[in-house]
């Protein structure tokens, strides 16, 4: 079974690589020390510290596996030296939001990097997906759980 490709910007790849390195080098050794200390206390059957450390170890290993899989299947969003005529992942889009009567700006990223609070929306989100392949000046209707939102694309940059 082929794994799903993960769209990432260069910044996103570096962030995930940094998190992976921290988990492998720092967090693994920290939890190994906690396990060693808990074992030294004796009976493991009623040792809450041991149970907590084993649970933390499992969470760390699961995240390491998730990050390794994401990086293995990463596809770099390369928005440099490309003609900016339509919205694509890796591009910054300035919009006019008719509902709130204000201008907003988003960076279109892959789902692994999405951080709406910081202006990064996934190309798979309702707004991100609706904007793809549209040009400056076009109006886009986005179906959401709360109804239809309308945006006008004001600018596209990379």
What's the structural domain count of the chain?
Answer: 2
Report how far residue 1's alpha carbon sits from residue 25's, in angstroms, rounded to the nearest whole number: 31
Per-residue pLDDT of the chain (158 residues; tens, 9 = 90+): 457 888 898 889 999 999 999 999 999 999 999 999 888 887 777 788 888 999 999 999 999 999 999 999 998 887 665 567 899 999 999 999 999 999 999 999 999 999 999 999 999 999 999 999 999 999 999 998 889 999 999 999 98
Residue 82 domain-assigned (yes or no): no
Look up the pTM and report it: 0.70
Report yes or no on 86 lying in a domain: no
- Pairwise CA distance, residues 118 & 106, whole Å: 9
Q: Give residue 102's domain range.
A: 92-157
């Amino acid at each position: 079974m082929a794994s799903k490709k993960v769209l990432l910007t260069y910044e996103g790849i570096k962030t995930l690589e940094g998190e992976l390195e921290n988990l492998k080098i720092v967090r693994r050794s920290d939890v190994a020390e906690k396990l060693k200390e808990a074992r030294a206390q004796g009976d493991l059957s009623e040792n809450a510290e041991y149970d907590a450390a084993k649970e933390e170890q499992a969470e760390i290993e699961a995240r390491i596996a998730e990050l390794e899989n994401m990086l293995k299947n990463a596809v770099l969003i390369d928005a440099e030296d490309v003609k900016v005529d339509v919205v694509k992942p890796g591009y910054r889009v300035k919009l006019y939001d008719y509902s709130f009567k204000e201008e907003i700006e988003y960076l279109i990223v892959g789902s692994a990097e999405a951080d709406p609070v910081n202006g990064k929306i996934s190309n798979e989100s309702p707004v991100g997906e609706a904007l793809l392949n549209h040009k400056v000046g076009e109006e886009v209707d986005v179906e959401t759980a709360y109804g239809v939102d309308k945006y006008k694309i004001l600018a596209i940059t990379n």
